[in-house]
A = this chain, B = another copy of it.
Amino acid sequence: MIIKMKKGSSKNQYKKVVDFLESKGLEIKDVSSEQVTIFGIIGDTTQIEPFDLYAFEGVGDVTRVSTPFKKASRSFHPKDTIIELPNGLKIGGDHFTLMAGPCSVESEAQLRTIAKAVSKTGTKILRGGAYKPRTSPYSFQGMGLDGLKLLRKVADEFGMLVVSEMMTPNLLHEFNQYVDIIQIGARNMQNFDLLKMLGKTDKPILLKRGLSSTIEEWLMSAEYIMASGNDQIILCERGIRTFENYTRNTLDISSVLAVKELSHLPVIVDPSHAAGRWEMIENLSLAALAVGSHGLIVEVHHDPEHALSDGAQSLKPKKYENMVKKLQNIAAVTGKDVQ
């Protein structure tokens, strides 16, 4: 961390902040010149929030030069994390993993129809929402526990695994029972009580990026989970909020590369929530493969017009099948293994 004092700040102000830092066991290296008073801080600075140092009068700029996360950082863990699932499926490295299914579980028949269709393409992870975060209290809120049970039942029929979103720490027991990968949604990325609870399960966590989260904040949320004891995390880019509203969100495809540089954790892409328009899903998925992500989570529905949520961004099974073929074609020349 580097601190630059304000022009005209006093020696006493300088002393106060230096004393404070030294009391934390940190070492000061001064590099001041005639024009400017500036010094570096050596040691474990993750205990300090740079912003808090502005509380000291005279402090001008505080700049962090090391990442605030440790366990999630590639510096501390240079090799790629590869997550191994119960059925031997692997996420990370050269694997390109597909997760597909409806936005919401609506009925056993609906889920089976879709699971059958996506399973046929070789997709081995079934997605589906049982508890739904909806902007409006008047919208369908999900089937709840019955939805979780249906997911387990139908996935087992087709030899698939289940990924589903958990919104409250109170349901951890049920998710442990019925689900293989626990999804934390964008709106809960900084629901810290929820994150801390995830140390109490050994299920892998699919951690979506918040709508307006920086890459650093996203990795800090991963750090929360890791700090509480669970290091099986799959990150998921799903679009960020910007001024552009032709698409529902703006897919930040570069974030895949940033995550791969900063962290060892696998990172997949959710083109459905990013675009919000099914017409774009195929091409964004091809781009997600080409850019180097580790997989996709895609909404598929056989009757999107009557879907209880997100029909607009759901692919019909036939379109999904075509897309998987194109993914396989590109994967064949880029050394990836679509699964």
Contact = CB atoms under 8 A, between A and B. Distances in A.
Interface of A: 2, 4, 7, 16-17, 20, 27, 29, 31, 33, 35-36, 38-40, 42, 46-47, 49, 51-57, 61, 63, 65-66, 68, 75, 133-139, 141, 167-170, 187-188, 190-193, 196, 211-212, 214-217, 220, 223-224, 227-228, 240-248, 250-258, 261, 274-280, 283-284, 286-292, 301, 304-307, 309-314, 326, 329-330, 332-334
A246 B103 CA distance: 29
Given A35-B42, A242-B252, A251-B252, 6 more contacts: A49-B136, A55-B312, A57-B305, A63-B65, A240-B242, A286-B334
A220 to B, nearest CB: 5
28 contacts: A2-B38, A49-B134, A51-B312, A52-B307, A54-B311, A54-B312, A54-B313, A55-B278, A55-B305, A68-B135, A68-B136, A136-B220, A137-B220, A141-B192, A168-B193, A242-B242, A242-B252, A250-B252, A251-B253, A251-B254, A254-B274, A256-B283, A257-B275, A257-B283, A286-B290, A289-B290, A290-B330, A329-B334
Contacts of A291: 283-284, 286-287, 290
Contacts of A326: 334
A306 to B, nearest CB: 7
A212 B252 CA distance: 15
Given A40-B38, A192-B134, A220-B136, A52 B290 contact: no
